[in-house]
Amino acid sequence: MKKYLSIIVLLMVSVTMFSQTEVVDKFEKITYNFAEFIQTPQRAVVTQSWVMSPTGTNSLILECYGYDVSYDVQKTESLVSPYIGYITAIIVTKDNKDCGDVITKLSRKESFCFGHTTELRARENLESFGEPVASTATFTFVYQNETWILTSVEHLLASAFNLNYNTMFPVQDQKSVDFNSKWVALFE
């Protein structure tokens, strides 16, 4: 009886080890695809609440690329989401807000933004993107039903993935949603 119990426990451990390896392998593939995608400059429409804007929002196009992409996968105690995964990267962004259609005042300095995404898209091809700024982005995933699901993005890019972060929120108009579709498809 003791011998059979040992064999059952060993089999259970082997199955768990295999599935953990499979889970990590899936996440490595997602990380690799993201790293490949973000190596070359990509653009995304992002929108945020902006009380300084007469329209209450600030929309702009981010042009960004990334490097130093890394990941981590951790086991959780959850039965629904037994694993959580993180991708972190340095994301260098520049935006086109300086050619915006709305003047705002921030710290006694006039600044511009786009109050409406229609005007934003009309000026997308202008080469008036500002200076690049580097920051760390963290993408959080949960593993459910044998699939990795993006649950949060701690960066201005959250808007591109139809997620909220800080004052960022998903773009609303269909043309901006379509513009961002390559970002959303990246983790599907």
Residue 86 contacts by C-beta under 8 Å, 6 or more apart in sequence?
71, 72, 73, 138, 139, 140, 141
Question: Residue 19: which pLDDT band, with cuts at 50, 70 and 90?
Answer: confident
Residue 17 pLDDT greater than 90, yes or no: no
Residue 98 pLDDT greater than 90, yes or no: no
Note the pLDDT of residue 65: 94
User: Whole-number mean pLDDT of the chain?
Assistant: 79
Note the pLDDT of residue 31: 96
How far apart CA 156 and CA 58 sit, in angstroms, is: 12
Question: Residue 116: which pLDDT band, with cuts at 50, 70 and 90?
Answer: low
Note the pLDDT of residue 49: 77
Task: Map tokens 């800080």 to a residue.
Answer: 166
Q: Return the H-helix or E-strand segment holding 16.
A: helix 2-38
Q: Return the H-helix or E-strand segment holding 183.
A: helix 181-186
Question: Residue 23: which pLDDT band, with cuts at 50, 70 and 90?
Answer: very high
| CB-CB contact of 139 with 150 (8 Å) | yes
Sign of the torsion angle spanned by Cα atoms 22, 27, 29, 32: negative
Residue 113 pLDDT greater than 70, yes or no: no
Over the stretch 57-86, which tens digit does the pLDDT of each residue have?
777 788 899 999 999 999 999 999 999 999
Residue 88 pLDDT greater than 80, yes or no: yes
Residue 119 pLDDT greater than 50, yes or no: yes
Parse the chain into domains and list their residue ranges: 2-186
Full-prediction pTM beyond 0.85? no
pLDDT average, residue stretch 129-153: 92
Note the pLDDT of residue 3: 52
Residue 22 pLDDT greater than 70, yes or no: yes
Q: Between the CA atoms of 59, 61, 67 and 68, what dihedral angle is there, to the nearest 10 degrees?
A: 10
How far apart CA 31 and CA 69 sit, in angstroms, is: 8
Question: Residue 97: which pLDDT band, with cuts at 50, 70 and 90?
Answer: low
pLDDT average, residue stretch 109-123: 56
Residues 41-70 as b or e (16 or more Cβ within 10 Å = b): ebbbbbbbebeebeeebbbbbbbbbbeebe
What percentage of the chain reaches a pLDDT higher than 90? 39
